[in-house]
Amino acid sequence: MSGEPRLQVRGLVKRFGGLVAVNGIDLDIRPGEILGLIGPNGSGKSTVMKLIMGIERPDAGAVRLDGVDLAGRPPHRIARSGIGIVFQHSRPLHRQTVLENIKLALLPDSLLRLAAAPGVDERARAIAERVGLGAVMHRHPSTLPFADLRRMEMAKAIARDPRVVLVDEPFAGLTGGEVAAFSELIRGFRAEGRAVLLVDHNVKSVAALVDRVLAMYLGERIAEGTADEVMRDETVRRVYLGGKIEAVAQRAAAAASAPLLELDEVSVLYGKAQALDKVSLRVHEGEFVSIVGLNGAGKTTLFNAVSGLVPHNGAIRYAGKSLAGMTAGAIARAGIAQCPETRELFGDMSVRENLDLGGQHLPRQSRARQLDWLLELFPILKERASQMARTLSGGEQQMLAIARALMMQPKLLILDEPTLGLAPVILELLSKALERLRQSTDITVLLGEQNVTFALPHADRVYLLEHARMLWEGPPARFAEEMGTGYL
C-alpha cells in the first residue's frame, strides 16, 4: 500500500439547496487498501460515493484516479475509466439469467462497438465463479436468496476489472455467516490490488475488514485513522453514542405481572433481506424499556412490526392477545401509539390541528383534558398553537409528534429515535418531559435509540439490537459496565 494513491479526493463539496451535504472531504486510497467510511444517517457517506461515481455532480473539488481528475464526468465515463460500484439495492434484469446479467455488464458501451468482444461468455463464467455464483449462474434472479443477489451486484461491479471498487452497505440484510463470506470477497478485491471504499452501518464488520477508517458527521470529516483509533475517538463516540456511557441507578422494577407486550422469535424480511431475525422481548406494564442499537440494527422494523405496519413471522402479543391479523388502525385503537423517527406531521396544519387529529376519537371533555395536560407537559406547543407545523424547529416538531401520539391516551407509547438531530438544549427539555411522564402517569414506554446516554437514564431495562438480532438484555447499570467499551 505504499506509493501514490490510486483514488485521491480533494475538497469535495455538494449542496442541495441550502443544505451542505458534503463539505470539503479529502480522502486517499492506495492500491490494495480498504478504506471504511462510517457515520450516522445523514452524515453524507452515500453522497460521497455518488460524487465519486458521477451519479451526483460536485459543486467543488477533485476526484482523481491515478492522477486524472474525473470530477463531474458522467457515470458511464467514470466506469470506463476504472471505477466500479456495488449498489446497496439490487436491480437485476429478471428475465435474464445470472450469467446473462453479468454478460450485459461486460458489453461495450459504445454505439460504434455493438458486438461483444470474443471470450465474453468465458469471462462472465469466471466472474460468477469468483463471487460464489457458479452453481446458480443459469437461474433467474427472482429464484435467488438475498445474499446471492448481493453477489450478483458484486459480479457486475468487477466485470470491467476496475482499479477502484466502491461498496455501499454490503452487509445490510445479511446473516452473520453471510457477512463473513462477503468480508472474504471484499478482502479478495484487496488481494487483487484494487482500492476499495466501503460504506456500512455495521461498524464492527467494517472495523474487522478495513485498513483505515474515515468518520463523517453532517457532511464533514471528524476523525481518520485505524479502526481502533477512530472508534476510541471522543468525537466519534459522542456522535454515535451521544456522549460518555455512565452507570445510572436502576429504577424500581415494574410489578411482577404478565407482560403488556411480548415478542417471540419475530422475524421480518424486506424482499429477501433479513431485517429482523427471531427477536424476542418483554415489556411489563409501567416499565420504560430502551432498545439501543446503531442505525440499521432493526429498531424501526421492530416497532413497525408491533404497530402492524410490516408483515412478520413469529408471535406478537399485547395484553395477552395476539396482534396477528389486526390492522395498524385497530392496533392503535387498542392502545399502542407509535411516534415515528420521521415524525410524519401534517406540515400545512397548525400545532393545534395536529393535536386534535391525535385525539379525534376521544369524547370532547376527555380530549380537552388531555390537550390541557399535554400543553402543560410541552409549554412551547401552547405558544405555537396556531403556527403551521412545518415552520417549527426540529425540536418543536419532535415535541409535537410525541404530544400527538399521547393525545391518543395510549397504554404503550413507542418512541423511535426521538433525539435524532436535536440540539443539546432540546434534549434536556425532552428528557425532563419524559421524566414527568413517568412520574405522573402509569404509561408504558418502549424507546428505540442510538443515543445511549439519552436511553439509559430513562430505562428500567435495556435491550441491545445488533444486525437484526437481539444480543443482550439487562439493567442500565450493567449495560454501562459490560457494553460501554464494546457498543461500537
pTM comes to 0.66
Quick: pLDDT tens for 404-454.
999 999 999 999 988 876 766 677 888 888 888 888 888 999 999 888 888
CA–CA gap between residue 361 and residue 367 (Å, rounded): 8
Better pLDDT: 37 or 394: 37
Mean pLDDT throughout 143-170? 88
243 pLDDT above the threshold of 50:
yes
CA–CA gap between residue 163 and residue 161 (Å, rounded): 7
CA–CA gap between residue 458 and residue 242 (Å, rounded): 14
Cell of 37: 467510511
Mean pLDDT throughout 318-330? 94
Q: How far is CA 401 from CA 167, 170, 217, 262, in A?
A: 36, 33, 25, 25
How many Cβ atoms sit within 10 Å of the Cβ of residue 159?
21
Looking at residue 332, what is its pLDDT?
A: 92
Quick: pLDDT tens for 263-302.
999 999 988 778 899 999 999 998 999 999 877 788 999 9
Work out the pLDDT band at 112, boundaries 50, 70, 90. very low
Mean pLDDT throughout 185-195? 91
Q: Which residue has the cell 387529529?
A: 357
The domains of the chain, with CATH numbers, are 7-241 (3.40.50.300), 261-483 (3.40.50.300)
Better pLDDT: 426 or 376: 376
Mean pLDDT over each residue of the chain, to the nearest integer = 86
